[in-house]
Amino acid sequence: MHMIRRRAWEIPERLVTPEHLVVKRRSLLAGAAAMTILPSLLPGGAARADVPVNQAFQPGRPLTEEKYATTYNNYYEFNDSKSVWQEAQALKQRPWSIKLDGMMAKPRTIDIDDLLKQVSLEERIYRHRCVEAWAMTVPWTGFPLSRLLKIAEPLGSAKYIVFQTAQDKVMSGLSAPFYPFPYIEGVTIDEAANDLAFISTGLYGKPMPPQNGGPIRLTLPWKYGFKSAKAIVKISFTDKQPDTFWEAIAPSEYGFWANVNPAVSHPRWSQATERLLGSDERVPTQLFNGYAPQVAGLYSDRKNEKLFM
């Protein structure tokens, strides 16, 4: 049978698989090959609208229910209340372009859909750990940040990649005093090249909801959540460590590295445990959010830096 594979964001909402089928399909595939192309499960034999699930990333925890992950959000451009999802619907997701600049041979602006034509999407289930000690486990659709590095072609002398979030008139929090918008985040080129570093354009098999950072955001699961900038409009390459949003606000509380570590307390609270969204269960926090085997090597030469705050 000829099967048409559509990309997640091209799917009309009515064709998206209901959540209970997605979960069932995942457990069916649990023992299958590392990357699996999914068969049709839609009624009427319609082509499945999905991307391959990368089975290399097993979260070891139940998925957070979608309704919690999409209604409890940090997005200070809107407000600081966690209840931004309704207001965020006003952020237009298309047209959307991303400016690439700084230390690169060909600075340019790319349309998001032109970028997405150059990548293969996959789904990965990652744990997410906010510095405030809540956590979730969700399926992201996207592509490795290393792929974006290849497309952008920074100069060999660039040491950092910097992400900047949109500033749109529908974001009512932008006028709040005190916060140094735009939201800027960055990592080293070595961190960006690590296979865990991900650019996400979807969540739960659907286009990324605006409140979760649609249409395109960063996903760095071994770092506290604030490193994962939402609604990216600019990506720059530089040889200087960038002044990041939260570090500028409170350097002793939210450092540049911000790697998860249960043994290093935030100045105002312990990081030893985390609260799972939905169940409110408290579970132990893990070093690098449980991703130490993949990322600890990135830091072997940086023992004297404040890697964990």
Ligand X SMILES: Nc1nc2c(c(=O)[nH]1)N[C@H]1C(S)=C(S)[C@@H](COP(=O)(O)O)O[C@H]1N2
Q: Is 223 in the site for ligand X (CB under 6 A)?
A: no
**Helix residue spans in 133-243 (DSSP H):** 145-152, 189-193
Q: Is 213 in the site for Mo ion (CB under 5 A)?
A: no
Q: Which of the residues 163 through 192 are near ligand X (CB under 6 A)?
A: 165, 183
**139 DSSP β-pair partners:** 125
Euclidean distance between the first and final Cα of the chain, in Å?
Answer: 53
Site string for Mo ion, 2-41 (x = CB under 5 A): ----------------------------------------
Site string for Mo ion, 222-251 (x = CB under 5 A): ---xx-------------------------
Compute the distance between CA of residue 53 and CA of residue 122 in angstroms, rounded to an integer.
Answer: 6
Q: Is 242 in the site for ligand X (CB under 6 A)?
A: no
Compute the distance between CA of residue 206 and CA of residue 201 in angstroms, rounded to an integer.
Answer: 9
* Spatial CB neighbours of 273, under 8 Å, sequence gap ≥ 6: 133, 262, 282, 283, 284, 285
Q: Is 183 in the site for Mo ion (CB under 5 A)?
A: no
| The only residue of 17, 201, 212, 271 in contact with ligand X, by rule CB under 6 A | 212
Cβ contact 186:232 at 8 Å: no
Site string for ligand X, 37-76 (x = CB under 6 A): ------------------------------------xxxx
Q: Which of the residues 42 through 81 are near Mo ion (CB under 5 A)?
A: 74
Nearest to 253 by CA among 224, 219, 284, 277: 224
Q: Is 88 in the site for ligand X (CB under 6 A)?
A: no
**Tokens 């956590």 found at:** 135
Q: Which is nearer to ligand X, 51 or 220 (CB)?
A: 220
**Residues 174, 179, 182: CA angle, nearest 5 degrees:** 60
Minimum Å gap between C-beta 158 and Mo ion is 27
| β-pairing verdict for 35-36 and 53-54 | antiparallel
Q: Is 210 in the site for ligand X (CB under 6 A)?
A: no
Interface residues toward Mo ion, by CB under 5 A:
74, 130, 225-226
Interface residues toward ligand X, by CB under 6 A:
73-77, 130, 165, 183, 212-213, 225-226, 228-231
